């Protein structure tokens, strides 16, 4: 499996969400609409393990780190 992290700095409290690469929200780092506005956040990947993705998410320093509620890569 491959994992991605979405760093979102505009959604209320800053948060980082982990996703499976094939998740419809992630789309291998392209997001739902094929891209992400750089003022909203950014996709970071591709991580070979969930542990590597979580380690990256923790490095952001964001207060909220959570798995995607759709693909649930925990």
Q: Running DSSP on this structure, what letter comes out for residue 47?
A: E
Q: What is the distance between the alpha carbons of residues 48 and 46, in angstroms, rounded to a whole number?
A: 7
Per-residue confidence (pLDDT) for residue 58, from 0 to 100: 95
For every residue of the chain, DSSP letters joined together read: --EEEEEESSSSS-EEEEEETT-TTTTTTT-TTS---TTTEEEEEEESSHHHHHHHHHHT--SEEEE-TTT---
| pLDDT tens-place string over residues 16-73 | 999 999 999 999 999 987 777 777 889 999 999 999 999 999 999 988 999 999 999 9
Per-residue confidence (pLDDT) for residue 14, from 0 to 100: 87
**3-state helix, strand and coil shares in percent for the chain, rounded to the nearest 5:** 15, 30, 55
51: in domain: yes
73: in domain: no
Per-residue confidence (pLDDT) for residue 11, from 0 to 100: 65
Domain count, the chain: 1
In terms of pTM, does the model score above 0.85?
yes
60: in domain: yes
63: in domain: yes
74: in domain: no
Range of the domain at 46: 3-67
């Amino acid at each position: 499996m491959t994992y991605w992290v979405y760093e979102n700095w505009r959604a209320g409290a800053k948060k980082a969400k982990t996703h499976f690469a094939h998740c419809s929200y992630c789309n291998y780092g392209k997001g739902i609409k094929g891209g992400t506005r750089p003022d909203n956040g950014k996709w970071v990947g591709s991580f070979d393990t969930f542990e590597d993705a979580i380690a990256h998410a923790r490095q952001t320093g964001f207060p909220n780190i959570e798995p995607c509620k759709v693909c649930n890569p925990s």
